Amino acid sequence: MKKLKSGFNRRSSAEQVTAGVDLSGKTALITGVNSGLGLESMRVLASRGAHIIAAARSLDKAQQACAEIKTVVKDAVLTPVACELSDPRSILSCVETIQNTFTTLDILMANAGIMSPTNLTVATGYTKPLEMQFATNHIGHFLLINHLLPLLKNAHQGRIVLLSSMGHLQTPKQGIDFTNLDCAQGYNPWQTYGQSKLANILCAKELSQQLLASRVTVNAVHPGVIRTNLNRNSTGALFQLINFFANFVERSIAQGAATQCYVATHPALDKISGAYFVDNNIAEPSKHAKNPILAKQLWRESLNLVDGYL
């Protein structure tokens, strides 16, 4: 992988990394726009001229986010849509709305996610029950991306950005435990979160190989330690420890949104695909994240899980 030096770092903001980038005429779908990194990414990309398809769990939440952005980016062009990523029927409805309105998609930013809820919850809409983090963070985006690939291929240079996390370093010993995707055999909130974030990187790796002959790139990013609504359901000793150290290393939401905005828009990255970015630069992920066999296994299992919806 070519090691580019972006000139940006962990203190760079989303506005700084997109300075001078003109997104006029481009369309970007961002999931999880109602707060945090998604809301900031929408604001910044809209201010650069992009038409934002703003996806949230409900249409009401998406509309509220769009109204908020309109107060600061007066000429923003925004289309709110509902997309509950744990529900394949909601995803298909979102896809239908987008396909009926747009013929081209330049950017798909898979930003939405949940992190380490204390209590186990299970999504039941797929061919097998799935623990909610895996269903939301990986499978929901997997289904959304695969349906919208034709629109991305219609773009001059389509980009997919998957929001992963350094949390992908903490997983079951095999990386992804395909025998316990519903966590019926045991639930560890942080390992399960890490497993879902590892899946984001592996998905980017495998899909990048499948898209080599196209003009679409796909990369994964770690945003850094930021206090957002993502951790609203997290508790326990490990969470308290992370919160303590966050006081020394955390960054603002504007800084946290920088890497995903940089990877989604910067002209220098038009040929970079299958990479993992941290602090606006390419970084090395875990050994599991670099395992092509595990990536292909995840892809096959994901296809099985969404059987009937693709």
Catalytic residue (one of 187, 262, 276, 309): 187
Closest CA to 174 of 17, 304, 274, 297: 297
What is the structure's pLDDT at 2? 54
The residue length of the chain stands at 310
CA dihedral 68, 144, 175, 255 (to 10 degrees): -20
Kindly state the percentage of the chain with pLDDT values over 90: 89
Q: Span 131-156, mean pLDDT?
A: 98
What is the structure's pLDDT at 30? 99
Distance CA 111, CA 45 (A): 14
- Do 245 and 4 form a contact (C-beta atoms < 8 A)? no
Quick: pLDDT tens for 53-82.
999 999 999 999 999 999 999 999 999 999
**Residue 157 in this model has a pLDDT that exceeds 80:** yes
**Residue 110 in this model has a pLDDT that exceeds 70:** yes
Closest CA to 162 of 137, 190, 181, 136: 137
Tokens representing residue 58 in the block? 């409900």
Q: Span 208-221, mean pLDDT?
A: 98
Domains of the chain: 14-305 (3.40.50.720)
Distance CA 285, CA 292 (A): 13
What is the structure's pLDDT at 234? 47
What is the structure's pLDDT at 207? 98
Helix (H) or strand (E) holding 223: none
Quick: pLDDT tens for 198-208.
999 999 999 99
Beta bridge partners of 11: none
Distance CA 118, CA 109 (A): 27
What is the structure's pLDDT at 243? 47
Supply the pTM of this predicted model.
Answer: 0.93
Distance CA 310, CA 212 (A): 21
The one-letter amino acid code at 58 reads: S
What is the structure's pLDDT at 3? 65
First to last CA, the chain: 31
Q: Span 168-192, mean pLDDT?
A: 96
What is the structure's pLDDT at 216? 98
Mean of per-residue pLDDT scores for the chain:
93
Quick: pLDDT tens for 16-32.
999 999 999 999 999 99
Distance CA 124, CA 132 (A): 9
Answer yes or no: 309 catalytic.
no
- Do 56 and 83 form a contact (C-beta atoms < 8 A)? yes
- Do 181 and 271 form a contact (C-beta atoms < 8 A)? no
What is the structure's pLDDT at 251? 82
